[in-house]
Structure 1
């Protein structure tokens, strides 16, 4: 983590959140108590700030400063409002293409996907505030700078985002092995949102229940799944192929 992209110390993080600094994620020491920590928790929850508990050793690796059990990362990009973005994309002549990442947690995978998304003309990437990969230095580096070119929306709940897209006339397709339908058998020339799942669990079962279509890639080897960024690239380039 770059030192100029972080804030450490409980009071400093509280003040940063209250001043509307674009906090990407807060790392908290496990089992830390006290009134100041309670104030931080209250402030984070009021402002929907993403946080996770980590061992103190990780915090010590992140900074040599007096972190008091809390280190925050500052996002290098500003996030977009979903409704505003969808409205602006629909106003264009281009057929919309969105990408939803359901609990993707690895920053490098996130960066690789953003890079592919930029190359394939994705209009916006949607992630959930809690449990998603941070937008940090690893993300920026792996994306080759594409993170600054593709709008990213952070939402409270993925399912609400899907309902909004569907209500806006955008078909939602989940990438999952839990289907007999092949991505190459679908028509992808209409307004679309592709949903990719987490590295270990895939797309959440509750999300699979509400999408319009489910599709998979054909697999001929003994390994049952692809890296999520590779699978995402295959899905997006099939969209490109059909829209050529």
Structure 2
């Protein structure tokens, strides 16, 4: 059964949820779990390409004390969209794609706030990694004021390869980074663009910075070294809106 925290527990319940097509964020499996039903679960997760993690039973017990049988699955609050299909659809509709790529945003409140700004600005899609990012659960949807239900979100296995795909499809990759030499107002966002925002503490990863076509910084005048990532994302997407409306 699903509870207030958006999870399912019990081996059979998780297997049936995956087979029914329910969107699963990730599955936690108790270390040392064995048996035929366990093997069936592993096969089902592999077939559905569901991410799972082996953890001490204490971690599962923190989520629920009910008869979880050593397995708990976190359920997504949204339906994810295939990135390739989304992009093809945008081009077929004659759109000028504006995509927001989130490289390791782990705070649920930041995720929700970014999505809210993106939806208001008309961003066409948000791309997040399968691992290393904040779960899109009921709290994230609430923080986004429902925006996560209205804007296509693609969850990808390999963020670097997905950026290569966007680049090869004609999108300009712009990384938001304090290391950039140009202020964001000097960067061209008018054509098909993917704006890449980095993790709250580390910024955009060095590997992804190398593939980007341009880098943009937001000038900091005060004594605090950086903006909250959700505020920075809002500034950049609205700069894209400004340029496209000129």
Q: What TM-score do the two structures reach when normalised by structure 1?
A: 0.89
The count of residues paired between Structure 1 and Structure 2 equals: 243
Structure 2 Cα separation of the partners of residues 137 and 170 of structure 1: 31
**Cα displacement (A) at 1:227:** 1.5
Aligned partner of 1:199 in structure 2 is 200
CA-based RMSD: 2.2
1:152–1:233 CA distance, 2 compared to 1 (3 A): same
Structure 1 Cα separation of the partners of residues 212 and 44 of structure 2: 34
Aligned partner of 1:97 in structure 2 is 98
Structure 1 residue runs without a partner (length 5+)? none
Q: What TM-score do the two structures reach when normalised by structure 2?
A: 0.89
Structure 2 Cα separation of the partners of residues 74 and 202 of structure 1: 28
Contact 1:48 1:129 in 2 (8 A): no
1:2–1:33 CA distance, 2 compared to 1 (3 A): closer
1:15–1:237 CA distance, 2 compared to 1 (3 A): same
Aligned partner of 1:123 in structure 2 is 124
1:56–1:33 CA distance, 2 compared to 1 (3 A): closer
Aligned partner of 2:64 in structure 1 is 63
1:93–1:181 CA distance, 2 compared to 1 (3 A): same
Aligned partner of 1:87 in structure 2 is 88
Aligned partner of 1:172 in structure 2 is 173
Structure 1 Cα separation of the partners of residues 127 and 45 of structure 2: 21
Aligned partner of 2:243 in structure 1 is 242
**Cα displacement (A) at 1:58:** 4.7
**Cα displacement (A) at 1:10:** 2.7
Aligned partner of 1:159 in structure 2 is 160
Helix, strand or coil: the match of 1:226?
A: coil
In the TM superposition, what whole-angstrom CA distance separates every residue of 1:54-76 from its partner, at most 9, and x where no partner exists? 66555334334212332212222
1:39–1:112 CA distance, 2 compared to 1 (3 A): same
In the TM superposition, what whole-angstrom CA distance separates every residue of 1:20-61 from its partner, at most 9, and x where no partner exists? 3211222345x4443455654454344332344666555334
Helix, strand or coil: the match of 1:209?
A: helix
1:110–1:2 CA distance, 2 compared to 1 (3 A): farther
Structure 2 Cα separation of the partners of residues 201 and 3 of structure 1: 32
1:45–1:224 CA distance, 2 compared to 1 (3 A): farther
